[in-house]
Amino acid sequence: MSLGAVPDDDAGIASRVAQYLRPGTLSLAAMPPLSLYIHLPWCLKKCPYCDFNSHEVGAELPQARYLDALRCDLEAALPLVWGRVVHSVFIGGGTPSLFAPDAIDRLLGDVRARLPLAPGCEITLEANPGTFERERFRAYRAAGVTRLSVGVQSFDDSSLKAIGRVHDGAQARAALDEAREAFETFNLDLMYALPGQTPAALEADLRTALSYAPPHLSIYHLTIEANTLFGKHPPALPDDDTAFDMLDRITELAGEHGLERYEVSAYARPGQRCRHNLNYWEFGDYLGLGAGAHGKLSFPHRVLRQVRFRDPARYMTQALAGSAVAQESEVARADLAFEFMLNALRLKDGFELARFRERTGLALSAIEPGLAQAEARGLIERNLQRVQPTARGFDLLSDLQAMFLPAG
pLDDT tens-digit readout, 116-157: 999 999 999 999 998 767 789 999 999 999 999 999 999 999
Give the model's pLDDT for residue 11. Answer: 66
Q: Are 167 and 82 contained in the same domain?
A: yes
pLDDT band at residue 5, thresholds of 50, 70 and 90? very low
Give the model's pLDDT for residue 18. Answer: 83
pLDDT above 80 for 16: no
Q: Are 28 and 300 in contact, with CB atoms under 8 Å apart? A: yes
Looking at the structure of the chain, the number of domains it has is 2
In angstroms, the CA 359 to CA 298 distance is 9
Give the residues across from 145 on adjacent strands: none
Within 8 A by CB and 6+ apart from 377, the residues are none
Q: Are 159 and 229 contained in the same domain?
A: yes
In a domain, 324, yes or no: no
Class of residue 248 by CB neighbours under 10 A (exposed 0-12, middle 13-18, buried 19+): exposed
Q: Which of these, 350, 337, 342, lies nearest to 383 by C-alpha position?
A: 350
In a domain, 308, yes or no: no
Give the percent of the chain with pLDDT over 90. 87
Q: Are 118 and 192 contained in the same domain?
A: yes
- State the CATH number of the domain containing residue 399: 1.10.10.920
Q: Are 257 and 397 contained in the same domain?
A: no
Question: Maximum CA pair distance of the chain?
Answer: 63
In angstroms, the CA 122 to CA 142 distance is 14
Give the model's pLDDT for residue 155. Answer: 97
Q: Are 118 and 279 in contact, with CB atoms under 8 Å apart? A: no
In angstroms, the CA 337 to CA 283 distance is 11
Q: Are 81 and 197 contained in the same domain?
A: yes
pLDDT tens-digit readout, 252-272: 999 999 999 999 999 999 999
- Residue 6 vs residue 215, higher pLDDT: 215
Give the model's pLDDT for residue 131. Answer: 74
In a domain, 283, yes or no: no
DSSP 219-264: EEE----TTSHHHHSPPP---HHHHHHHHHHHHHHHHHTT-EEEET
Q: Are 44 and 131 in contact, with CB atoms under 8 Å apart? A: yes
pLDDT tens-digit readout, 37-88: 999 999 999 898 988 889 999 888 999 999 999 999 999 999 999 999 999 9
Q: Are 267 and 342 contained in the same domain?
A: no
In a domain, 148, yes or no: yes
Give the model's pLDDT for residue 114. Answer: 97
pLDDT tens-digit readout, 324-382: 999 999 999 999 999 999 999 999 999 999 999 999 999 999 999 999 999 999 999 99
Q: Are 92 and 231 contained in the same domain?
A: yes
pLDDT above 90 for 218: yes
In a domain, 303, yes or no: no
Q: Are 55 and 200 contained in the same domain?
A: yes
| Average pLDDT of span 200-206 | 97
In angstroms, the CA 10 to CA 341 distance is 37
Give the percent of the chain with pLDDT over 70. 96
pLDDT above 90 for 2: no
> What does the mean pLDDT of the chain come to?
94
Q: Are 372 and 250 contained in the same domain?
A: no
In a domain, 306, yes or no: no
pLDDT above 70 for 7: no
Q: Are 271 and 340 contained in the same domain?
A: no
In a domain, 305, yes or no: no
Q: How far apart, in Å, are the Cα atoms of 399 and each of 14, 19, 71, 296?
A: 43, 38, 41, 25
Give the model's pLDDT for residue 9. Answer: 60
In a domain, 54, yes or no: yes
Q: Residue 376: which domain range? A: 333-408
Give the model's pLDDT for residue 4. Answer: 37
Give the model's pLDDT for residue 20. Answer: 85
Q: Are 38 and 180 contained in the same domain?
A: yes
Among the residue ranges 129-143, 205-219, 386-400, the one predicted with the least confidence is: 129-143
- State the CATH number of the domain containing residue 137: 3.20.20.70
Containing 266, the helix (H) or strand (E) segment is strand 266-268
Q: Are 269 and 151 contained in the same domain?
A: yes
Q: Answer with the one of 278, 312, 344 that is the final residue of a domain.
A: 278
